[in-house]
Structures are given as C-alpha cells and as structure tokens.
Structure 1
Amino acid sequence: MVRLYFAKTLATKFLFAEKWSLKIPPVLKASYARKTLNEFRDVKDIRNIGISAHIDSGKTTVTERILYYSGRISSMHEVKGKDEVGATMDFMELERQRGITIQSAATYTDWKGTNINIIDTPGHVDFTVEVERALRVLDGAVLVLCSVGGVQSQTLTVNRQMKRYNVPCIAFINKLDRTGANPNRVLGQLRSKLYHNAAYVQLPIGLEKDLEGIVDIIHRKALYFEEPNGLNIVEKEVPANMVEEVEEKRAELIEAVANADDAIGEMFLEEKTPNEEELMAAIRRACIKRAFTPVFVGSALKNKGVQPLLDGAVDFLPNPSEVENFALDESGEKPRKIILNPDRDDTHPFVALAFKLEAGRFGQLTYMRIYQGCLEKGSTIINVRTGKKVRVPRLVRMNAQEMEDVSNVYAGDICALFGVDCASGDTFVLKSGEQISMESIYVAEPVISMSIKPVNKGDTDNFAKGIARFVREDPTFRVKYDPESKESIASGMGELHLDVYAQRLEREYGTKCILGKPNVAFRETLSSSCDFDYLHKKQSGGQGQFGRVEGFIEPLPADEYTKLEFVDETTGTNIPKTYIPSIKKGFLSACEKGILAGQRITGLKFVLKDGASHAVDSSDWSFQQAAEGAVKQVLSNGMWQLLEPIMSVEVTTPTEFQGAVMIGLNKRHALITGTDANEGFASIFCEIPLNDMFGYSTELRSSTQGKGEYTMEYCKYCIAIPSTHEALISEYEEELNKQNPQSQKKKRRN
C-alpha cells in the first residue's frame, strides 16, 4: 500500500501543477494563504509549536522538511548547502554564511486540515533569549536530539525553559544516518538527565548507512520513505527480525503511559491490553500534562521520519483550548488571576502578548500571540503598560521573511503588526480602562562585556541607530557609555553574541566596528553581616535635609548572589512609610559600584530596622541620600569579596585526546562534574570561571587536531579565586592612579 502524504493540501496541488507545467491562475495562487487561514475557525484545528534543541541537532533541517512535505515550499535547501540558497528559516545573510540560526523565525503551514504555527529557534546559548520568548507563547514543542551527541548542554537549558512555561513536548531523535548513531543511549539520557517519562513510539529500521525506514510501534507497521525526496511512503509489515523487539517496546510504551494516565493504568493493573485508539488518546492526555514524552526517530537530512513526526505533533500536542493561559486583572482593589478564553470568536475581550520585536522594511515589526478575542486590521489597540493607543494599519502572518496580509486574527494565532511602539513582553487590549496584564518573559543577565566603537568617526550616526535597534530587539544585548573610559560598553551572553552584532552593524548599517578586550561581569558582595547607623543632615538656610536610617546589611545565600533585596522591618512612625521607597532607591543606587574593583554590588539584603525623621527638613531626597550613606558606611566597615560568573562547559573530543583536554581544562581552574564516552568520543562536563575561558576555542582545536568542540552556558556566580581577586584589585587601583594620582598619594599617606 502506497500513500502519497504530499498531495494533501491546496498548496501541494499547486506544486504538482507546476511540475507538469499546468497553468495556475495567479490570483488563486497568491490568495492561497488567505483562503486557507479563514478556514481554520475551530481552535481544535490549530497547533502552535516550536522546534528546539542543542546547536547542530538539525532543528532548521527538520523545519525545512516540514514546510516541504506540507506544501509550504516547492523545494528543499540545506543549512550549509552547495547551492548557496540556504534553508527557508535562516533568511539572514549572516545565518547562511555561518550555518547557524541566530534569531527565531515564524511560519505556518497546513497538515491534513490542521494549521500549524511553527517557530524555529536558535540552538546556541548566546541566543537563548530567542528560545525563551518563543516558548513563552507556544503551546507545544518538538525537542530535537542528535542520535550521536544525545542530551547536550543546551538541551538541558531548553528543557528548563519548557518546564518554566509548562510546555508539553514530543522528542525526535534525529541524524540516525550518522556514524555512531545510538538512539537507545539518547533515550536513556532523556530519562536520566532530563527526568522525562519517555518511551519509543517508533523504532528505526537499521542505523547509520543502513537506515531504511521506521516502524510505527502503536500501529505495528513499517514505513519506508521512497523518492522523490521521501514523498512516497510505503507501508509494509514489520520486518521479521524486528517483530519481537517491536512487541517488547510496545509493552514498555504501555507501561510508561500507564504510569502517567489513570485509564491505561487501570487496564494495566487488570492485565488488559489497550487498542490503538485507547493508547493514542492516553498518550495525548499524558503528553499534554507533561507526564509522558513520546519519542520519534528518523533522519531529516535523509528525508526519513518527518511526516510521521508531523502526525505526532497533531495527534499528541495540545491545541490552544487545551492549555490554560492566565492573566492578571488589576482593575479592582486587589489583583486577581483570570483564565483567558481561547474560543475563536469576537465575543471575548481581546488580549495579546508582544513577544518579539524586529526592524522591518516598514518600521518596527511586532510579533504577537493572540490569547483571547479577535483583532481586525484598522482596529485601535492599547498598550496596558504605557496606556498608549495605536491603530493597526497592517496585519500580517509571517513565513520566515515573507509577509502575507490578513484581515483579522483570532485566539490561538501568531501574527505580526507594523507601527506598534512597545517593548517585548507588553500586553495589548482593545477596550480602554482594561487593566489585564500577562506574565512577561524571563531575561537572563549578560555575562560578558566588550568595548565597541566605529572605525570611522563619520559612521557615528549609523552606529547609534544600529545599536538603538539591536538593544530594542534583544533584551540580553545592552550598551552603555562609560564616562570614565569614554567608551561604549556592549554587554551580552558571550563572545559570539557580541561578534554577531558587530558584523550586523557592518552589513546592515555600513558601520565597521572594533570590539575591545572582553570584560567579565564580576560582582562584589559582603562576606558577613554589617550594621549601619547613618544620619544625613544639612542646613544652609531655609529648608534643610534630614534623614536617619538604622539596620544591617547581610549577604544572601550563594544561589541568590545575583539579587538585591530590601526589607522594611520598621515599626512606629520614626520613618514615615512614604519615605521607604526612597530608601530602597538609595540602596539600589549605591550598589552600582563597589569598593574592591569598581564592580556592581549584588547578593545583599538591606534590612531597615529604625531611623528618624524631621517634620520640616525630611524629604524623599534626604532619605535617599541617607540610604546611600549607609551603604558607603558598610563599604568602609564591612568585609567584601569578589564574585565571578561560572560557566557550565561541555567538551566533546576523540578519546585519544581526552588526557590533553583534561590537562588544559585543569589549567583553567575547571571543576570536572562528569564524563561520558561513546563510539570513540568522550564528553567532559565541567564548571569553569568565564574569565578563564577566553581563547579556549583555539587551544582546543590545536590540542585535538581540529576535532574537538565545546559549548558553554552561564551557570552561577561564585567567590572569585585568589589570583583573580588580587589581579582585579591591582588593576582597579592602577586605573584610579592614572585618573587621579594626587588623591591616591593622599590615600596611601592616610
């Protein structure tokens, strides 16, 4: 029996017509997207999914095949293809040059009557905010795993992000055609490292160069993907040598689902075997609850297993009505949590979340997820945060960089708007006075800084425009002017992150830039609690200034080294409550610069116990100054220490070079947390100070004959090692001497 999965949609018929040189009316062809979109009025026919994984696991290739098999594109291209076209979702020139995904891209397609909105996300840790904001607005995800690399460092990060936003997922073990492919090992890591209750729903027929197809465990049938391009799917009986394995894995699948679903659990205890429909329904229920992860297999590059993966996304991932989305209604005396209604009609108040900003050809392009109600072109929407009203002149759906105009969008849709002035994470409504806000997006703090400046002074204007745009689009990329060094300091998630923006400034704004020496984001904190009692008092005629604060500052636990806390424990009226916010503001302001190396102060709790005020001379400014003076008092009297960012590093190298790599890591003060070996390759997991990681890529290449690779991501802040501590303090003192040598001489005499 042969099934042609490809000829399922209107767009597919167009592609076949083009192949046989049949004439297609241009108007009909251009309106395909608009006509099909209007058909998806039932929320059950929608899936919002993301493709997420570690770098180089095949996410973009999987997305390319999905678009091809569903008829969205007429031909497939490779991420690093020889035709120099590149994958559809990697539309930036820099992405195609480097062969990596830099920014998330949205598209949509139709698969067997279901509208699937897809966001392809980057895999590199430096662009993790793209994954973060994509998962914030998606209902489900496909976790792509490399059959050789398995669960890698960024896989752990993506898994944490899915857990943060409670996103159900299905797993796809990709690249089974590669030498060293071992899906059983990957499944074991999925269970042991990510703690998923996971089981196969498919098995591969052969591995590496012998990969022929896959076996559907649920329906007990073998699928072979024949040319052209794997379009023809041939169903056959399960190979005789796999019948026993299939039954064994099917029993394992039922047991795993029974642990997550009550209905199948009861049948399991009664020793009854569920039929295909009952098993499919149970997998769906358990997957939506994040209690079970079905595991698919295949090779996207070799065009095997993608169509069944699409079936799995439709069968097991939730539609918008099966996900509870909350918002905070702040219109009453007390904020209350409300559940948004996903019905696709205009009877419910409109609520949408802006999750991504991008500079388009016609101004700022704002990506939006509609959570409730309907939005029509020409409507006026209101930004809840700012209260500003803005008319929507154009409403589009995105297919990578292509825009397709639509007249309206409903709950469950992902769209883009032009001309909306907002920030990422803003909530929008239609009716004035509605105070409904949705949970914003988690943004990690930058861990590395470098000076950045244009080569030519005449490019200053373009440089400023580019920086302003990139800072607005990416909340993890920040630029500030340092008055002491008189340089612009760019901060980001890694060297690659900052290097990409420097290249984009040159390509998109014609401004060649120079990046200076990387500066690590060190921090300063107290080593023990320290009391303060500070009086700020000034009198120079007229109203004076008076404010007194008493209390103590203590260090926070190690896992909260990046935070600053303010606690008000005052009683009575010695300090009027109206001045408390000013005291907090003064505390935060004074923590911008420490005493040891001029770094920001973090990991402190400011506890206000008592104080004093004056009926005439006290003011917000007086108490702000008092709080700053209290921090300076603690700076002088307390015991301070430096903190440095620690990175989780995973190094993969041929086993023959493992010893040399370990020696190199130990020289960089690495703390080895684990090792793993597979098919001639070793993976070393460790924690290393970011300050010791510069130049490691060159060292690794030379020590492994170019065969080693590594990834790293931010892990935590820890107390700096003594050598780093002394070097930073000495460097800071030298810098102060250069700026003001006379004051330093007086300081030494005192």
Structure 2
Amino acid sequence: MTFKEEIKRRRTFGIISHPDAGKTTLTEKLLLFGGAIHVAGAVKSNKIKKTATSDFMEIEKQRGISVATSVMGFDYNGYKVNILDTPGHQDFAEDTYRTLTAVDSVIIVVDAAKGVETQTRKLMEVCRMRHTPVIVFINKLDRPGKDPFELLDEVEEELKIKVRPLAWPMGSGDQFQGVYNIFEESLYLFTPNKQTLEDGIEIKDIHDPQLEEFVTPRAASTLREELELIDGVYPEFEHEAYLKGTLAPVFFGSALNNFGVRELLHAFLKLAPSPRPSITDKRVVEPEEEAFTGFVFKIHANMDPNHRNRLAFVKICSGHFQRNTNYMHVGLKKQMKFSSPTAFMAEKKSIIDEAFPGDIVGIPDSGNFKIGDTLTEGEILNFKGLPSFSPELFRYIENADPMKSKQLAKGIDQLMDEGVAQLFVSQFNGRKIIGTVGALQFEVIQYRLLHEYSASCRYEPINLYKACWIKSNDKAELEDFKKRKNQYMAKDKYGRDVFLADSSYMLQMAQESFKKLEFHFTSEF
C-alpha cells in the first residue's frame, strides 16, 4: 500500500459527552465491530486505563469514572480506525480538551432523556474553536426520552450548530421499534441484544407498502410524516459543511443494545475526514509531506507501577514514523531515537516498527517531554492548539515534609508537565498556587506526589475566582496595571503574566478600566 493510501484509510476521532451518556459503552461496541474485542464488556472490565493503572487510579476504581483518555486502534473494512475515548467527568476536562487537538473529527454522544448537558456544551466550544467536524449520536432510545424533534432543536440551540438527521427513530422507550437509516435508505428493526448484529432491510421508497410488513401501520404512517417534515425543516446534508464543522449529521440508537452503532460506524467511515493539515507557528503541515512531524498531546506517568515509567502520546501529523530512527526534539534541540514505540489495541499495548499520519504512538519517556513538544526530522517548528484553560479552583501548595523539598519540587514540575493542573507563583509573596478545573485533581496530585515521589504536601485555601493571561502593546498601561494589582499578579511556569482575579466583579472592572489590555482565558493567544 502506498504512503498516500495509508493516510487516506485512516480515521482518528474522539468520542465526547457528559458523564453517563454512554460514551464508554459506544466505544466498546465500536471495538466489537472492529473485531478488537470478542465480547462486549471486555473493554470495561479490562480497559487500557485498567492495565495502565498507576496507583492513583484507585480513585478511578473507587468512583467508577474514566480519569484518563484511552487510545484504541483497529482495522475495519479496509480502514484503520483510531478511537480516543475521553474522560467525561468535568474534573478531568483538561485532558479531554487536549485530546481534541489530536483528533480529526468527533462523535458527540447525547442521552435521549437528558438532552445536551453542561460538559457537552463546553467540549463543543473546543470543537468550534478548531472547526472540528462533529457527528451527533443520540443514545438510549430504548428508554423513555424526549421527542426527537425537541432533541434536535436542543442540539442546535445548545451546541450552536446546524443539524441534519441521517437516521430517524420509530418511537422510544417501550414503544421503540427501530430506526430508518436515511443515509443508506434501509430499515433496522429493534431487538434488544447486547452481543449480535442485525442486518437492515433495504427500503428505497419509504411509501412502498412493503414497510407495513415490518412495522405497524400507525408506526409506518408516523415515520412517513416525520421524514417529510425533516426534508421540509432541515437543510440537505452537505458533506462540505460537515467537514467545515458547521453542520452535524445526527444518528439515533442504543449503544448498550448494540443498536444503530454499525450504521453510525459505516456512515462515519464514509463521511469523516482522513488526517487533516496541522497548524504550526511557522506554516501549515500537510499529512502527505515526506518529512516526519508529530506532537505530544498527553503524558501518562507511571503506566507500569513496577517500573515507574512515563509514556508520551504522540500524534503523527506528517511523514512516515519509524522505530530506531533519529528524530529531533525541537524544545531540547537534540536528536532522539525510540527503540520501543507502542500502539494501543483496546487493552493490549504492542511495539510497532512504523506509523503513519493520524496514528497515535506511545513513546517511553524518562522526563524529556512535556505537553505540546514537537518531534521533527530537523525542521524547527511548534504545533499550535494545545491550550491550557483558565483554572477555576485554586489552593496554595505547601511542603509538609521539609526533608523532601527536592522531591516535592521535582514531583510538582513533572505533574505540571503532564498537564494535571497549572502552577502559578504569586509575585506578591512568592508562594506556589495550584490551579485546576476540578476539585478531584487536588486529591490526584496529593496522592501521586506521595506515592510516586515520596513527597507529602498540604493545601491552604485561597479565595480566587479566575486566572487570566494578560498582554498589551501598551507597555506603560501594562506596567501600571501590574503595579496596581500587585497582590493579584502571578507568573505561570513559562514566566508569562497571569492576573488572579478574586471575583467576577473585580475582573469586569479591570477589563473596563484597562481598555488596552488583552485578557485571555486560554494560555494560547
């Protein structure tokens, strides 16, 4: 297979949703189709996060939520599919935001009963910022839920995107009879079955009386009416609009009962983009370029507690990655060779000899990498689009054991590289402040510092509302602001100015009083 064909057959996508909408179940069923697992449930009981459990993942077991993004690849119908299953829990949203920089498209899972929830809204903002194509899968139709038209209105309004149903459900809850697939012009009848796959019945003409052979006359006439209504209300499906991220095709089903998942997968493989160009600080990198480039979007420390190793997840953007070949670490300006790069297949990790654009490769790391680092064949460039978001929770971090100050400093440094949280140093009193997007992260940091670095820390409260990065072309105004707000100024780990506002009112007043200052709520500007 030629280099270009390898790129064309790749589909790298993320699955995102609010917790409990059925994201992990959907991932599991997609792997079932891909033959990556043979029994549904195998992912849940034996997921990569489970084999890749470092001690702190006890938190994950106790709470039954995904904390880490997991990567899974499989071949299906000639395509190479790479799925990134992300944590839905908002306390780990930062990990999900960064994962979205490594995917070419996204499937958003929405619970038919609950509709669009807060976390989904936030994640959609990131997709919009990056013009990522999205497909919406409305899940749990076998349970009582909202009216499908109501759900579509909600998706349009809440996610600020036009929608076009490419499938349509017949009933819901106890009355759920199946789904008509508009995209393939075939009918799928619902039988609750978690393991086997049903074939569709091809019905090219919805007015064909043959329809009544499979569903009740009432369901048939309702379906015909609703399909007419869809054509009248929603725009025609335009592939170009989907690729630009302005139109979302919508599918319906029940991931738990394996219903509607295969249709989603088939449509996704036809519609979704192969690896897309990536933006750097110097130029746009095309996947078809011969020279290898890639960036680190995630670091997972201590994936194997016995060896205390770290793994850097690298998204390949262009060229042909090969094992035991010298590549340049742009940040460190030095050549590196990787003898055991790994690929992920559900719960298994295997060493690979080569990888292509769109693939995700795990590289063992002894502390050389941080999030956003670039690897190339010698060209100096840095990939853009790996923002840190403005934290909303803050605490002072103090050393609880004076004999272990070196270990604590090293631990904080490495965990911040991993993107677990953000570190700010107050310019007023020199104290270290940890900022996170979720309260659970404080527990994770404390636990990991103790178990991985033998360093104990304690937290002290600090009352802050938001951190924002500030810059201005007017140096005098910037200096004036820093003097006036001296006790609220801090530096981030890269030495940039950060304003720590203690209330929304204070932030609003600062923005009104200092018109020439730019206030940024992500670290990339």
TM-score by length of structure 1 reads 0.57
Match of 1:501 in 2: 445
Per the TM alignment, residue 402 of structure 1 is displaced from its structure 2 partner at its CA by: 3.6
Contact 2:39–2:195 (CA under 8 A) maintained in structure 1 = no
100, 107, 113: which is aligned to 2:65? 100
170, 180, 183: which is aligned to 1:218? 183
Per the TM alignment, residue 521 of structure 1 is displaced from its structure 2 partner at its CA by: 4.8
Matched, 1:246 2:223: yes
Greater relative contact order structure (CA < 8 Å, 6+ sep): 2
Matched, 1:140 2:99: no
Per the TM alignment, residue 324 of structure 1 is displaced from its structure 2 partner at its CA by: 3.5
Task: Give the direction of change, closer, same or farther, for the CA distance of 1:387–1:509 in structure 2 (3 Å limit).
Answer: closer
Matched, 1:57 2:13: no
Match of 1:391 in 2: 337
Match of 2:369 in 1: 422
Write the distance in 2 (CA, Å) between the matches of 1:510 and 1:179.
50
Matched, 1:325 2:278: yes
Per the TM alignment, residue 522 of structure 1 is displaced from its structure 2 partner at its CA by: 6.2
Write the distance in 2 (CA, Å) between the matches of 1:642 and 1:514.
21
Secondary structure at 1:126 match in 2 = helix
Task: Give the direction of change, closer, same or farther, for the CA distance of 1:476–1:454 in structure 2 (3 Å limit).
Answer: closer
Matched, 1:563 2:470: yes
324, 348, 354: which is aligned to 2:296? 354
Write the distance in 2 (CA, Å) between the matches of 1:60 and 1:461.
39
Match of 1:517 in 2: 461
295, 308, 320: which is aligned to 1:374? 320
1:86-126 per-residue CA deviation (whole Å, 9 max, x = no partner) reads 65556543223212222211111222221111111122333
Contact 1:40–1:46 (CA under 8 A) maintained in structure 2 = no
Write the distance in 1 (CA, Å) between the matches of 2:286 and 2:501.
46
Contact 1:447–1:645 (CA under 8 A) maintained in structure 2 = no
Per the TM alignment, residue 297 of structure 1 is displaced from its structure 2 partner at its CA by: 1.2
485, 488, 500: which is aligned to 1:599? 488
1:246-269 per-residue CA deviation (whole Å, 9 max, x = no partner) reads 3344445556775564xxxxxxxx
Per the TM alignment, residue 479 of structure 1 is displaced from its structure 2 partner at its CA by: 6.6
Alignment of 1:192-271 (within 5 A): 192-224=157-189, 226=191, 229-236=194-201, 237=211, 239=215, 240-251=217-228, 253-254=230-231, 258=235, 261=238
Write the distance in 2 (CA, Å) between the matches of 1:305 and 1:515.
48
1:706-740 per-residue CA deviation (whole Å, 9 max, x = no partner) reads xxxxxxxxxx94359xxxxxxxxxxxxxxxxxxxx
Write the distance in 2 (CA, Å) between the matches of 1:591 and 1:401.
50
Greater shift after overlay, 358-367 or 182-191?
Answer: 358-367
Task: Give the direction of change, closer, same or farther, for the CA distance of 1:88–1:149 in structure 2 (3 Å limit).
Answer: farther
Secondary structure at 2:440 match in 1 = helix
Match of 1:334 in 2: none
Report the AA paired with residue 435 of structure 1. I
Contact 1:134–1:355 (CA under 8 A) maintained in structure 2 = yes
Alignment of 1:571-590 (within 5 A): 587=479
Per the TM alignment, residue 63 of structure 1 is displaced from its structure 2 partner at its CA by: 1.1
Secondary structure at 2:396 match in 1 = strand
Write the distance in 1 (CA, Å) between the matches of 2:48 and 2:383.
32
Write the distance in 1 (CA, Å) between the matches of 2:13 and 2:188.
25
Match of 1:169 in 2: 134
Match of 1:3 in 2: none
Per the TM alignment, residue 232 of structure 1 is displaced from its structure 2 partner at its CA by: 2.7
484, 502, 508: which is aligned to 1:718? 508
Match of 1:635 in 2: none
Secondary structure at 2:472 match in 1 = strand
TM-score by length of structure 2 reads 0.80
Match of 1:77 in 2: 41
Per the TM alignment, residue 318 of structure 1 is displaced from its structure 2 partner at its CA by: 1.0
Per the TM alignment, residue 457 of structure 1 is displaced from its structure 2 partner at its CA by: 6.3
Per the TM alignment, residue 452 of structure 1 is displaced from its structure 2 partner at its CA by: 4.0
Write the distance in 1 (CA, Å) between the matches of 2:346 and 2:455.
26
Matched, 1:404 2:350: yes
Task: Give the direction of change, closer, same or farther, for the CA distance of 1:212–1:458 in structure 2 (3 Å limit).
Answer: farther
Matched, 1:48 2:9: no
Match of 2:391 in 1: 446
Task: Give the direction of change, closer, same or farther, for the CA distance of 1:89–1:483 in structure 2 (3 Å limit).
Answer: same
Task: Give the direction of change, closer, same or farther, for the CA distance of 1:219–1:490 in structure 2 (3 Å limit).
Answer: closer
Greater shift after overlay, 449-458 or 53-62?
Answer: 449-458
Match of 1:29 in 2: none
CA-based RMSD: 3.7
Match of 2:263 in 1: 308
Secondary structure at 1:591 match in 2 = helix
Per the TM alignment, residue 328 of structure 1 is displaced from its structure 2 partner at its CA by: 4.4
Write the distance in 2 (CA, Å) between the matches of 1:326 and 1:194.
25
Contact 2:312–2:362 (CA under 8 A) maintained in structure 1 = yes
Per the TM alignment, residue 438 of structure 1 is displaced from its structure 2 partner at its CA by: 2.4
Per the TM alignment, residue 60 of structure 1 is displaced from its structure 2 partner at its CA by: 1.6
Write the distance in 2 (CA, Å) between the matches of 1:295 and 1:319.
20
Write the distance in 1 (CA, Å) between the matches of 2:412 and 2:162.
45
Write the distance in 1 (CA, Å) between the matches of 2:337 and 2:384.
24
Matched, 1:644 2:506: no
Per the TM alignment, residue 167 of structure 1 is displaced from its structure 2 partner at its CA by: 0.6
Per the TM alignment, residue 463 of structure 1 is displaced from its structure 2 partner at its CA by: 4.6
Contact 1:205–1:211 (CA under 8 A) maintained in structure 2 = yes
1:358-394 per-residue CA deviation (whole Å, 9 max, x = no partner) reads 2244643211111111111111111223322211222
Per the TM alignment, residue 73 of structure 1 is displaced from its structure 2 partner at its CA by: 1.9
Report the AA paired with residue 255 of structure 2. A
Greater shift after overlay, 398-407 or 288-297?
Answer: 398-407
Q: Any unmatched runs of 5+ in structure 2?
A: 202-210, 492-498, 511-525
Q: How many residues are matched?
A: 481
Matched, 1:117 2:82: yes
Contact 2:281–2:383 (CA under 8 A) maintained in structure 1 = yes
Secondary structure at 1:499 match in 2 = helix
Greater shift after overlay, 463-472 or 388-397?
Answer: 463-472
Match of 2:93 in 1: 128
Q: Any unmatched runs of 5+ in structure 1?
A: 1-36, 262-283, 330-336, 524-560, 569-582, 603-640, 647-688, 690-715, 721-750
